[in-house]
Amino acid sequence: MVSPKVALIAGASGLVGSHCLQLLLQSPRYNKVISVGRRTLPIQNPKLQQIIVDFNNLEKHRHSLIADDVYCCLGTTIKKAGSKEKFREVDYTYVINLAKITVSHFATQFLVVSALGADAHSRIFYNRVKGEMEQAIKPLPFTAVHIFQPSLLLGEREEMRPGEKAAAVFAKVFGFLFNGPLKKYKAIPAKTVAKAMLEAAKQDGGGVLIHSNKQMLYYS
């Protein structure tokens, strides 16, 4: 029997992260779940340890960031971040810093939420940053790196963005259109992405694995 492991999650207050945290706490795979964030979450669970951090000074908490599987659900928007520079700080710098610190403590797996269309050479800033993040993560010496590339995420956010809300309504009403070759663009529930992340970790495989939107929809 495999000994219970320790999971670390960053971004547990977000859309995917909140679902992921619940699944980690329910999973017998883990006897401890470390949540790293900027504020305390209103969750009580004997398996949960919350560490409040300044992601700009993550190194300060290095010795507390020790886990087997690392789930990175960090992400923002340019509008919410306030500038392209701040967006890049969250979606690239914070992610890479977390990966480097945890792999230095011999974390085995790094599972990160990216995006459909991520491409380090894209002319679209958002896609380019996500692609650059992926490129920087891949060479790190984890046993396995899992990159998840969802399309439009469905679910209730703390603050629903008007454009996303309209897109989500369209996706639900006309979701039947996104079949066959278009299935890779189909909107996906955030909970489904979280399920895919946990299932990928359970495989205890090796190498760099890209999980497409179409593949993740299997867990819907």
Does 86 have pLDDT greater than 60?
Answer: yes
pLDDT band of residue 139 (cuts 50, 70, 90) is very high
Q: Which of 92, 126, 185, 219 is catalytic?
A: 126
Q: What is the pTM of this model?
A: 0.89
User: Is 208 a member of any domain?
Assistant: yes
- Say what percent of the chain tops pLDDT 70: 87
User: Is 163 a member of any domain?
Assistant: no
Active site residue 92: no
User: Is 181 a member of any domain?
Assistant: no
Q: Which of 30, 94, 130, 195 is catalytic?
A: 130
What average pLDDT is seen over the chain? 90
Query: Do residues 115 and 178 make contact, with C-beta atoms less than 8 angstroms apart?
Result: no
Total structural domains in the chain?
A: 1
Active site residue 219: no
Could you tell me the residue range of the domain that residue 149 belongs to? 5-154+188-214
Tokens of 141: 């010496």
What DSSP element (H or E) covers 120? none
User: Is 39 a member of any domain?
Assistant: yes
CB atoms within 10 A of CB 80: 12
